[in-house]
Amino acid sequence: MILAFDTHYFDDKAKTVAVQFENWTDEVPHQVYSEILSDIQPYESGEFYKRELPCIVSLLKQVDLTFIDIIVVDGFVVLDDEGALGLGGYLYDALDQKIPVIGVAKNNFAKIDTLKIPIQRGDSKKPLYITAKGISLQQAVSYIQDMHGEFRFPTLLKEVDRLGRE
């Protein structure tokens, strides 16, 4: 099984949602998990993981991780070509490096060149940026390219975003 996460912030709260699916080509989630947490850390430039990682880790308590093969996060797994950790990298470490993590970012991060691959889906001229830990970057790109949806952003990643905004 695969989990894809997204978190949305409002006031001092955060709503984190995960969709669980079986195959990269799935159009609808197998299961949806969500949680709202209060007293969320304020955003710190360059330290985004401090805000979002606790939300994801808390929501993971609802999931039987023995069935999870890969996790997808909205953002970067590494932040530079030396491997400085982004949100996904910290999540990978929090899971004792047992579950691969793929980062799918909508915007480029200039400090990283060789450890990210831009991909284009559909007719979009604007790429998505893929990073990964625990899985080869090429395999991660292949999985995201295979995801359902004819547009730039895959259907299930769009769905997890929509559910977070509800």
pLDDT digits (tens, 9 = 90+) for 46-61: 677 888 999 999 999 9
Each residue of 87-110: pLDDT tens digit? 999 999 999 999 999 999 999 977
Which pLDDT does position 124 carry in this prediction?
Answer: 87
Share of the chain above pLDDT 70, in %: 99
User: What are the C-alpha distances in Å from 105 to residues 11, 67, 128, 162?
Assistant: 24, 25, 6, 16
| Low-confidence stretches of the chain (pLDDT beneath 70) | 46
Give the chain's domain count.
Answer: 1
Domain that holds residue 160: 2-165
Specify the CATH number for the domain of residue 53: 3.30.2170.10
